[in-house]
A = this chain, B = another copy of it.
Amino acid sequence: MSYFKHHVFFCCNQRDGGQDCCNAMGASTAFAWTKERIASLGRSGAGAIRVSKAGCLGRCDIGPTLVVYPEAVWYTYVDQEDLEEIIQEHLIGGRPVERLRRE
């Protein structure tokens, strides 16, 4: 069984030596914002959607990355507007956001 309708993992990996990594591109801030936003949605949010930090997801090449399971949809995001769209459209509405999706 799944405990959550959606389980979102934010890559918050920090690489040494100034290499590109999700954390250097604001991942921890994006994670914290999303977690709080989901909590504010009450039962439709916190009860059904879990937001977790993750170590390196291995996609440093595509920018700040998150993955939504169990549907295994990968995204990159730039700002809170992108995150809000993922929350409203995908996590609540059930429709993946194609413009942010990465293959």
Say whether A71 contacts B70, CB under 8 Å: yes
Q: Does A90 contact B (CB under 8 A)?
A: no
Residues of B within 8 A of A57 (CB): 50, 52
A85 and B103 CA atoms in complex are apart in Å by 31
The main secondary structure of chain A at its interface with chain B is: loop
Closest B residue to A67 by CB, please name it: B7
Residues of chain B with a CB closer than 8 A to A9's CB = 9, 52, 54
What size tier do the contact residues of chain A reach?
20 to 34
B69 touches A58 (CB 8 A): no
Instruction: Report chain B residues within 8 Å CB of A7.
Output: 67, 69, 72
Question: Do B50 and A58 touch (CB < 8 A)?
Answer: yes
Please tell me if the beta carbons of A72 and B74 are within 8 angstroms of each other in the complex: no
Q: Given A53-B55, A55-B52, A56-B52, are A1 and B69 also a contact pair (CB < 8 Å)?
A: no
| Chain B residues in 8 Å Cβ range of A19 | none
